[in-house]
Amino acid sequence: MNYKSEIYEAMHEDARADFEAGAISEARMREYDDMCFVKEPAPAYQESPFPAIKAGAPGGESRAAIDPGAKPQSAPRAQSHAAL
Protein backbone atom coordinates (compact mmCIF):
# COMPACT_ATOMS: atom_id res chain seq x y z
CA MET A 1 0.00 0.00 0.00
CA ASN A 2 1.10 3.55 -0.59
CA TYR A 3 1.29 6.22 2.07
CA LYS A 4 -0.30 9.63 1.54
CA SER A 5 3.04 11.32 2.30
CA GLU A 6 6.35 10.78 4.11
CA ILE A 7 4.85 12.31 7.25
CA TYR A 8 1.99 9.80 7.22
CA GLU A 9 4.51 7.00 6.66
CA ALA A 10 6.52 8.07 9.74
CA MET A 11 3.34 8.42 11.79
CA HIS A 12 2.18 4.95 10.73
CA GLU A 13 5.56 3.38 11.56
CA ASP A 14 5.41 4.88 15.05
CA ALA A 15 1.86 3.62 15.51
CA ARG A 16 2.91 0.16 14.28
CA ALA A 17 5.69 0.08 16.91
CA ASP A 18 3.19 1.13 19.58
CA PHE A 19 0.77 -1.58 18.43
CA GLU A 20 3.45 -4.28 18.49
CA ALA A 21 4.41 -3.15 22.01
CA GLY A 22 0.77 -3.41 23.09
CA ALA A 23 0.38 0.33 23.69
CA ILE A 24 -2.52 0.76 21.23
CA SER A 25 -5.41 -1.53 20.28
CA GLU A 26 -6.00 -3.23 16.96
CA ALA A 27 -9.00 -0.95 16.37
CA ARG A 28 -6.80 2.13 16.88
CA MET A 29 -4.19 0.65 14.50
CA ARG A 30 -6.91 0.30 11.84
CA GLU A 31 -7.69 3.98 12.31
CA TYR A 32 -4.04 4.76 11.56
CA ASP A 33 -4.22 2.50 8.49
CA ASP A 34 -7.27 4.41 7.23
CA MET A 35 -5.67 7.76 7.96
CA CYS A 36 -2.20 7.07 6.50
CA PHE A 37 -2.71 4.93 3.40
CA VAL A 38 -3.92 6.11 0.00
CA LYS A 39 -7.35 4.60 -0.63
CA GLU A 40 -7.62 2.43 -3.73
CA PRO A 41 -10.46 3.44 -6.07
CA ALA A 42 -13.43 1.11 -6.23
CA PRO A 43 -13.53 -1.13 -9.32
CA ALA A 44 -15.53 0.23 -12.24
CA TYR A 45 -19.10 -1.02 -12.63
CA GLN A 46 -19.48 -3.64 -15.33
CA GLU A 47 -22.85 -4.30 -16.92
CA SER A 48 -24.12 -7.82 -16.37
CA PRO A 49 -24.26 -10.11 -19.42
CA PHE A 50 -27.37 -11.81 -17.98
CA PRO A 51 -30.66 -10.36 -19.27
CA ALA A 52 -32.57 -10.96 -16.01
CA ILE A 53 -30.07 -8.95 -14.03
CA LYS A 54 -29.61 -6.34 -16.75
CA ALA A 55 -33.37 -5.85 -17.12
CA GLY A 56 -33.86 -5.86 -13.36
CA ALA A 57 -36.33 -8.76 -13.44
CA PRO A 58 -36.50 -10.75 -10.20
CA GLY A 59 -35.09 -14.26 -10.38
CA GLY A 60 -38.46 -15.95 -9.95
CA GLU A 61 -40.09 -14.46 -13.04
CA SER A 62 -40.71 -16.53 -16.12
CA ARG A 63 -38.58 -16.40 -19.24
CA ALA A 64 -41.43 -14.52 -20.95
CA ALA A 65 -40.92 -11.69 -18.45
CA ILE A 66 -37.27 -11.55 -19.49
CA ASP A 67 -37.74 -12.24 -23.21
CA PRO A 68 -41.22 -11.16 -24.42
CA GLY A 69 -40.75 -13.20 -27.64
CA ALA A 70 -40.28 -16.49 -25.76
CA LYS A 71 -43.05 -19.08 -25.89
CA PRO A 72 -44.41 -20.18 -22.50
CA GLN A 73 -43.32 -23.63 -21.41
CA SER A 74 -45.59 -25.89 -19.43
CA ALA A 75 -44.25 -28.12 -16.70
CA PRO A 76 -44.33 -31.86 -17.41
CA ARG A 77 -47.34 -33.57 -15.86
CA ALA A 78 -46.81 -36.12 -13.16
CA GLN A 79 -48.17 -39.58 -13.93
CA SER A 80 -50.71 -41.02 -11.57
CA HIS A 81 -50.03 -44.31 -9.86
CA ALA A 82 -52.94 -45.90 -11.74
CA ALA A 83 -51.25 -45.23 -15.10
CA LEU A 84 -48.15 -47.15 -14.03
Residue 76 phi, psi (nearest 5) = -65, 140
Per residue in 10-33, pLDDT tens? 999 999 999 999 999 999 999 999
pTM, entire model: 0.49
Q: Pick from 15, 8, 4, 9: which is nearest to 38 by CA? A: 4
pLDDT at 77 over 70: no
Q: What is the pLDDT of residue 8?
A: 96
Q: Which residue has the higher pLDDT, 65 or 43?
A: 43
Q: What is the pLDDT of residue 11?
A: 97
pLDDT averaged over every residue in the chain: 77
In total, the chain counts a number of residues equal to 84
